[in-house]
A and B are shown apart, each in its own frame.
Chain A
Amino acid sequence: DAGVIQSPRHEVTEMGQEVTLRCKPISGHDYLFWYRQTMMRGLELLIYFNNNVPIDDSGMPEDRFSAKMPNASFSTLKIQPSEPRDSAVYFCASRPTLAGTTDTQYFGPGTRLTVL
């Protein structure tokens, strides 16, 4: 089975440009998570969805960040306008619902974003 798919793997852009990161979760998984990883702050949860509905976006740093999940097989994280401090690796993860348990999250390979 294919794992979580993210695109692009690398993105280099200039300050002020719009950036869109994409994620395809594992089929049948109804939770999707977006994380950001930096040296300074480690791994931070930005937002997560359940059945395509945003549940907790308290980690989204500011209004420049937005995330959508139009259907069960696709999600986007958009930064507009981008700033150099947004440079990081962005991970998408998904997991299924298992009644009565909290189970493993499956991570994609990440998108390394560099904003010049």
Chain B
Amino acid sequence: GDSVTQMEGPVTLSEEAFLTINCTYTATGYPSLFWYVQYPGEGLQLLLKATKADDKGSNKGFEATYRKETTSFHLEKGSVQVSDSAVYFCALSDKGAQKLVFGQGTRLTINP
């Protein structure tokens, strides 16, 4: 079945550092890909998404490009802030399945 694998956490960085969180997927079809973020004590919020190969999703300085050839959707940010500290989830949705499959989540902590 469909699955999502994220890089193991937790990840700790200093403010203004470059961030990469790796995400690879396995799917039988051509899924849509998502990054969700969960701040402490809150539900998940959509951060960005891409619906087809080579699409780039971006929001709040974060970017991820849908790479069909490597089945990846890595999350990047050029300069992180303390306020980016959260848990980040990569997810896919097979267009026929109507539901999301999540990775295990990566906890990110940014130190001032």
Contact = CB atoms under 8 A, between A and B. Distances in A.
Interface stretch (A64-72, A77-85, A102-110): A102-110
B82 to A, nearest CB: 22
Interface stretch (B19-27, B37-45, B62-70): B37-45
Q: Is the interface of A mostly helix, strand, loop or mixed?
A: strand
A45 B22 CA distance: 23
A55 B99 CA distance: 11
Given A42-B105, A43-B102, A45-B100, A102 B44 contact: no
Nearest to B89: A43
B58 interface: no
Nearest to A56: B99
B43 A48 contact: no
Contacts, number: 49
Contact of B44 (A48, A55, A56, A91): A91
Interface string A88-116: 00010100000001101111111000000
A105 B94 CA distance: 14
A48 to B, nearest CB: 6
B42 A48 contact: no
B81 interface: no
